[in-house]
Amino acid sequence: MCLAIPGQVLEIVDEGNRLAKVDVAGVKRNVSVGLLDDEDGGVAVGDWVLIHVGFAISRVDEAEAEATLKLLAGMEESYEQELEELKGSSIE
Amino acid sequence: MRSEQRVLEIIETARGKRPRFKDELVTMAHGAGGKASQTLIEGLLAPSFDSAALAELGDAGAVEVDGREIALTTDSFVVRPIRFPGGSIGELAVNGTVNDLAVSAARPLALTVSLVLEEGLAADELRAEVEAMAAAASAAGVEVVAGDTKVVERGRCDSMYVCTTGLGRVDPRADLGTGKIEPGDRVLVSGPVGAHGTAIMLARDELGLDAEISSDTRSLWPAVEAMLDAAGAELRCLRDATRGGVASALNELARASGVCVVASEDAVPVQPEVAAAAELLGIDPMYIANEGVLVAFVAPAGAEAALAALRTAPGCERAAEIGEVGAEPPGMVLVDTAFGGQRVMDLLAGDPLPRIC
Amino acid sequence: MRFVEEFRDAELGATVAAQILSLLEPGRHYKLMEICGGHTHSIYRYGLTDLLPDEVEMVHGPGCPVCVIPMGRIDDAIAIAAREGVTLACFGDMMRVPGSEQTLLDAKAAGADIRVVYSPLDALRIARENPEREVVFFAIGFETTAPSTALTMTRARAERLANFSCFCNHVTIEPPLRALLDLPEFGIDGFVGPGHVATVVGLRPFEFIAADYGRPFVVAGFEPLDILHAIEMLLRQLADGRCEVENQYKRAAPDAGNPVALRAMAEVFELRESFEWRGLGEIPRSALKLAPAYADFDAELRLELPGASVPDPQACQCGDVLKGAIKPWECKVFGTACTPEHAIGTCMVSPEGACAAYYNYGRFAREGEPA
């Protein structure tokens, strides 16, 4: 249920059957993009999608990804002290 | 209710015992290099043949002939398809056997080749494999001195099976053995992992993946010779990381020598496409078969020199130090994950299967 | 790998871990449940418990679609595969799951035509390329996977394939969560929610958990940073006294889910009246079967199946593990009679089963403890 990996749409290979060639770090696979045929139109070349069992099940929003990473990086208070305690408490 | 510690103790005690081979049928798992293979080997084969050399469970067996130590090894190759990016069954057969000798620090001298051919195999295909074997043998500096051929009816084997036996002379510069491994020893890997098994999976074309991934089949004797030269006395043990991958090789050595191996995930070289294909299928590259990768356990004093020497050998430019030997917990392989926590890296039960969850 | 490696960054991990520490109420112990087996797998695989303080305890939930399939259904799948002329196509996850006598791997060794596929579309291709064989696709998964099966069935129907059918074991996420929350003494403070299920169903199905049961719920992605972030968000809610459904996985899971996927499911499936869940018993309206329009493609209608309800072996405590009532190592047969090579229950053989994850990744004495 949970194994899904982001890939980028390279080309639509079969319009009728809604198949697109997607690239994941150099590995290519044809996936069905039919689940993303919404009112805004289907996927476009260059879109990032989440691939699960040979289907694109959702789009990956680059802006949201950046925003999440920025938020995490912003948790910056340097808890040097706390980090030490953290390492200490991991020894059960 | 038992404490977590007690449960772990009970499990480790049970795992330390020699396994009993109780399965009713042979399954694909028995050929995968994981736990099922281990049970078959330790529970049936080794006890039945009752040989001290065999009990070492090394990649080759040592036999003394007139005061010299000779290494002897055998391998069968049953890969499908027989031709794939980066090589073919013929090359695998030669390099695989040469490598079993090499990691026993034995200079490969001679091979025998036994062919089981499927009725209907095209003569051109057979010719191509024989030529591939001859080329690989020549490149590896070994002579094919004897052979055998059998033909079986259509459907009884996948095009052809190749069985090779190799003979080599153990090099006096090293004294290798699982018993030599000690806490503090460094663990080296000779190159990027997971390429061969991934290339085969892709070549079977059942998973619909397309990538520039080739088998890494090669002779590892130049790599071993370079290390013998630079740090022979400090080499403790070498192993060919074939089926079951680097993870299985490390587990076998940890178990045989009763030490703990701690590997660093970040340090293990992997080709990006192999990592991506493995990620897509939910398989860990550490368990995927290689045909041109070895792991080396080296005393700390020799680790730097051994690594530098490894990197001069063809295909081993990305060799890296990936871990260290500790004392506890014995027989286990632990991994410092790329994220910062630690986990166990055990043998798999059987073949790594693509998963969706 | 883009959108993957950035979320495995160890430095950011340490930052979030420190943030988590700062949110702890002194003297309080937190029990958080990660529902999805994929999260359990990630937690162990990345050693996340090493990065969490002792005060935060992760309890493993029932979101493993392999784990919850009862033995009788495995027996049915094996019966299908054993038939002359039938090819069973299934995901690798199912191969080692024990039925009452054997696994699918055993059945394959004994001669059944069972093929591991990566996608239901691969099963369709097998049917197309082998018209003389009856090809049955063993469908499993929560709402993450059901839409993909749905589109595959639509395609099969459009192509009028005469030799393809589906043995449907899709389950839905809301009913088991309700069943868990209704258990007496269900002492969970908050939930790490299933990110990929949410890409399909959105946030709405989980609102009852916060509104009616007073537990914060954060939908999370599957990389280690996502999980730590979701835990941070849960603790922040608890510290603030809030109780909401939040979305940590905004980059991939829209709050509204995927209407196209939901429509595809509605066309092809309908809810079964009841379905037996390992460990949770019969739960009404918790699983899918093919709708009447797709009766021709329903393996349960095309083929006669034993259809027996087989109780778990006496020794098996998978049910308690799935409910989070016990930890994997607290099961009486963990590691002894039940191991990944010879498993009694699903939790030990599913790739994301809690017992498998703990056995394969977490089973070692930490520094400073006797082995």
Question: For C312-321, how does the pLDDT look when each residue is reduced to its tens digit (9 = 90+)?
Answer: 888 999 989 9
Instruction: Give the model's confidence band at B178: pLDDT under 50 very low, under 70 low, under 90 confident, else very high.
Output: very high
Instruction: Specify the pLDDT at position C354.
Output: 92
Region of residue A25 (left: phi > 0; alpha: psi -120 to 50; beta: else): left
For residue A79, is pLDDT > 70? no
Q: Closest to C366 (Cβ–Cβ): which among A76, A85, A92?
A: A92
Amino acid identity, residue C226?
D
Flag the least confident range among B37-46, C81-90, C152-161, C281-290.
Answer: B37-46
Q: What is the pLDDT of residue A86?
A: 66
The predicted structure's pLDDT at residue A81: 55
Within-domain flag for C356: no
Model confidence over A9-45: pLDDT tens digits?
999 999 999 999 999 999 999 999 999 998 878 999 9
Please give the Cα distance from C107 to C79 (Å, whole number): 9
Kindly state whether residue C371 falls inside one of the protein's structural domains: no
Percentage helix, strand, coil, to 5, in chain B?
Answer: 40, 25, 40
Does residue C240 have a pLDDT over 70? yes
Domain range for C236: 1-318
Domain-embedded: residue C36: yes
- DSSP string of C32-89, one letter each residue: EEEEEHHHHHHHHHTTGGGTS-TTEEEEEEEE-TTTTS-HHHHHHHHHHHHSTTEEEE
Q: Is C259 inside a domain boundary? A: yes
State residue C135's pLDDT score.
Answer: 98
* CATH number where C161 lies: 3.40.50.11740
| Residue A90 reports pLDDT greater than 70 | no
pLDDT for position A41: 84
Shortest CA gap B223–chain C (Å)? 31
Predicted confidence (pLDDT) at residue C104 exceeds the cutoff of 60: yes
Domain boundaries of chain A, sorted by first residue: 5-89
Rounded Cα distance, B101 and B327, in Å: 29
The neighbours of chain C, by the rule of 3 or more Cβ pairs under 8 Å, are: A, B
Q: Which residue in this structure is represented by tokens 């799935």?
A: C322
Number of structural domains found in chain C: 1
Q: Looking at this protein, which amino acid is placed at residue C234? A: L
In the prediction, which pLDDT does B351 show? 75
Is pLDDT above 90 for B33?
A: no
pLDDT band per the 50, 70, 90 thresholds, residue A85: low
Percent of chain C residues topping a pLDDT of 90: 80
Average pLDDT, chain C: 93
Beta bridge partners of B264: B336
CATH class of B178-344: alpha beta
Q: With a CB-CB cutoff of 8 Å, which residues 37-96 of chain B face chain C? A: 39
The burial of A53, by beta-carbon neighbours within 10 Å (0-12 exposed, 13-18 middle, 19 or more buried), is given as buried
Residue B40 has a pLDDT of 92
| Cα distance between residue B293 and residue B217, in whole Å | 8
Q: Strand, helix or coil at B166?
A: strand
* Contact (CB, 8 A) for C137 and C107: no
What number is the ipTM of this complex?
A: 0.93
pLDDT at B111 over 60: yes
Is residue B304's pLDDT more than 80? yes
Q: What is the pLDDT of residues C36-57, one digit of tens each?
A: 999 999 999 999 999 999 999 9
Domain contains C46: yes
Predicted pLDDT at C371: 37
Q: What value does the mean pLDDT take over residues B257-268?
A: 96
Question: Which residues in chain A are closer than 8 Å to C36, comparing Cβ atoms?
Answer: 1-2
pLDDT the model gives residue A39:
81
Q: Partners for A (CB, 8 Å, 3+ pairs)? A: B, C
Predicted local confidence at residue B112, as pLDDT: 97
CB-nearest to C10 from B5, B27, B340 is B340
Enter the pTM of the model. 0.91
What three-state secondary structure class fits C297? Answer: helix
Does the beta-carbon distance from A25 to C197 stay under 8 Å? no
pLDDT above 90 for A92: no
**B169: which strand partners?**
B70, B107
- Average pLDDT score over residue span B277-300: 94
Q: Over the stretch C8-20, which tens digit does the pLDDT of each residue have?
A: 999 999 999 999 9
Mutation for C interface: A58, A62, A82, most C CBs within 10 A = A58
Q: Does position C158 have pLDDT exceeding 60, yes or no? A: yes
Q: Among candidates B292, B315, B295, which has minimal Cα distance to B248? A: B295
* pLDDT value, residue A15: 92
* DSSP symbol at B176: -
Whether residue C139 is predicted with pLDDT greater than 50 in this model: the reply is yes
Judge: B280–A27 Cβ closer than 8 Å, yes or no: yes
pLDDT at C341: 83
Confidence of residue B56 (pLDDT cuts 50, 70, 90): confident
Range scoring the smallest mean pLDDT among B81-90, B167-176, B333-342, C343-352: C343-352
- DSSP string of C167-183, one letter each residue: EEEEB-SHHHHHHHHTS
Please report whether residue C297 resides in a domain: yes
* Residues in chain C, overall count: 371
- Per-residue pLDDT tens digits for C176-221: 999 999 988 889 999 999 999 999 999 999 999 999 999 999 999 9
Element (DSSP H or E) covering residue B71: strand B68-77
H or E segment to which residue B92 belongs: helix B89-102
Q: CA nearest B323: which of B249, B272, B273, B271?
A: B249
| Mean pLDDT for all residues in chain B | 93
Q: Which residues of C touch B4 (CB under 8 A)?
A: 327, 329
Looking at residue B349, its pLDDT comes to 76
Report residue C118 as tokens. Answer: 């990566």
Please, how many CA atoms are within 13 Å of residue C157, restricted to the half-sphere of its CB? 18
Q: Select the CATH number that applies to the domain covering A5-89 from these four: 2.30.30.140, 2.60.40.1930, 3.40.50.1820, 3.40.50.720.
A: 2.30.30.140
Cβ of residue A72 closer than 8 Å to a chain B Cβ: no
Q: What is the pLDDT of residue B235?
A: 97
DSSP 3-state of C192 = strand
**What's the rounded mean pLDDT across residues C236-257?**
97
B350 has a pLDDT exceeding 80 = no
Q: What percent of chain B has pLDDT over 70?
A: 100
Which of A68, A83, A91 lies closest to C14 in CB terms? A83
| Selected residue of B339, B344, B355 to mutate for chain C interface (largest C Cβ count, 10 A) | B339
Tell me what the mean pLDDT of segment B157-174 comes to.
Answer: 94
